[in-house]
Structure 1
Amino acid sequence: MRCALRRPEPLRPYDREVSEEPAHLSEAHARTLADYERHLVAERDLAPHTVRAYLGDIADLLDHAGRLGLHDPAALDLRGLRSWLARQQSMGLSRTTLARRATAARVFTAWLARTGRAAEDAGVALGSPKPHRTLPDVLRVDEARELIAASAARADDGTPVGVRDVALLELLYATGMRVGELCGLDVDDLDRDRDVVRVFGKGRKERTVPFGRPAARAVDRWLTDGRPGLARPGSGPALFLGARGARIDQRAVRTVVHRRLAEVPGAPDLGPHGLRHTAATHLLEGGADLRSVQELLGHASLATTQRYTHVTTDRLRRAYQQAHPRA
């Protein structure tokens, strides 16, 4: 027997008046926040920027709870959570931001209940605005080909940086990996016998991703002709190096992608994540099934991968409307 889903109640202010004076976290809240940080880092092994985002949201929540007079995490209730979201809604935050913060609150209250810091999970019934989901911009196949060709033309001078840029662009497009995953690669993560790369994704989850011959040739050239020119005694095992010989960082990779895409006429201004979207879209357009694409990209949920079917359908609809005489 199927149960009807209950519509989340609208956000309403908490009955108790909220102080507008600056408030510091109570000792109990500060101690809980420190414990939660250790949980995110040591147990969930989240990336540093993800930890900062979670802690920022929860610190704001606990500050708001303190203004309501709820100075102990065990006292945090559903009305307090709704009051916090309502306050942010009144500040004009986007639906996407509100949805993200509601998720952060639910994860936090579930942790409070699971660890015995609260008698029950106050956030289990917390609703949140449904964010507007927009389709990501992606490159056409010819634009992706031109991106690589333009980068390869620049690398003809044989400079280590130019050779590196071709290799990282080829690998990003070939595998659809995240920019953080690319920057974290070590040389021995490559298996050239099978043309696969070992990738550590979110939560340090490991997956093996294949890549094609063009990417393999570009990486081989980087390892033989490019990397030795940038490597220094402290370079370590990093696959891709910056101009000073250290492991390349995400900002440098983003700069490379934006600069090279600017040389492709008519191409949208995408970052590395745009190449990830592009890889997923082209895989699906080429006939790959959703489950395979999910595994390649390292998505925890198939629903995340399914958004790319909307991209391909949208592109198909545009092509139909442009080409069919009865469209």
Structure 2
Amino acid sequence: MEKGYLLLETGDVFEGILFGNNKETIGEVVFNTSMTGYQEIISDPSYTGQIITFCYPMIGNYGINHKDFESVKLNLSGVIVGEMCEHPSHYLQEKTLHDELAEAGVTGLHSIDTRTLVKLIRKQGTLKGTITTSLPEDKSIENYVKAATKQITKTPVADVSTKKLKTYEGDGHHVVLMDFGYKKSILNALLEAKCKVTVVPHNYTYEEVKALNPDGILLSNGPGDPLQLSSSLSEIKKIIEAYPTLGVCLGHQLIALAYGASTEKLTFGHRGGNHPVKELHTGKVWMTAQNHGYVVVENSIDKGQFNITYRNVNDGTLEGLEHKTLPIQSVQFHPEAHPGPTDTDHIFQKFMKQLKGVGEKHYAVT
């Protein structure tokens, strides 16, 4: 076992045991409160450039299998756990968490006080950090981390988005899935609804989408600050005004930005499987899976064009929008995850109904 260290920009140091790739890594240190689903979490492209701290004390106890990945490769920067299970047990298990991270080139750190680390992040906000094999001798921790983390990727969406079209056949409506870093479970939800799905790069233009003759659009989740995609907002607005649209997570933020709203960074984000969200027109509270560090600023929304549909029960932040005249809806959480286990399923059902009512292949762009 080799010692490793998590160094934070605050100057704090956490000592633990390296696992996985065992090499130095850098990233934004965040935490996830989920009790299960670690395989889906580490393979979610929304964690690109981030080091995930798991709050649940033991991670890896049911191993890794080939079915539950959310992307074809791991894009995160690192993993931090309190206790890492070395001898998992599950009938689908094919390898250990350590083996998966080692093969994927991802560094992990275990046997640290994750409770203290999470409390620090909650107090200070999301922090940049590095996992190293030794402590720096010639400079302060703060300066060392500052210098190292200058290399954090500035184009995470471009790094994870598909570079070419891929079509999945189906007997139902044709949905173009704009890939900002989509989770496989979103694609699976559309395929289970019998949709034909064409996955396209994040920077596809209106004319390129129109040439595919879709019935609807889904703007996916993805990593990073939504303002990094400001140059695409005019094309996104043309696309979503032309077709029934569902935006999820980053897709929700991009819809709001396209209509002149603003976004802001949360202190430590929403990442977990038990976030309560209130549906405003019914008063129902749904349990949701979330993974985001940015939110839409509520008072920046044009209330003449959009209704606010969902609000986070814990902190009151905006969690959903619906256009008043066009078939455009968006949610900040992940409706395909429905941790209830059927909570928020109705959002996809509503989207399917909008597809059935398209009539003409596309609406006039205004």
- Give the TM interval when normalised to the shorter protein: under 0.3
Task: With the length of structure 1 as denominator, give the TM-score of the two structures.
Answer: 0.28
Decide which structure has the larger Cα Rg and report it: 1
Structure with the largest fraction of helix? 1
Structure with the largest fraction of strand? 2
Task: With the length of structure 2 as denominator, give the TM-score of the two structures.
Answer: 0.25
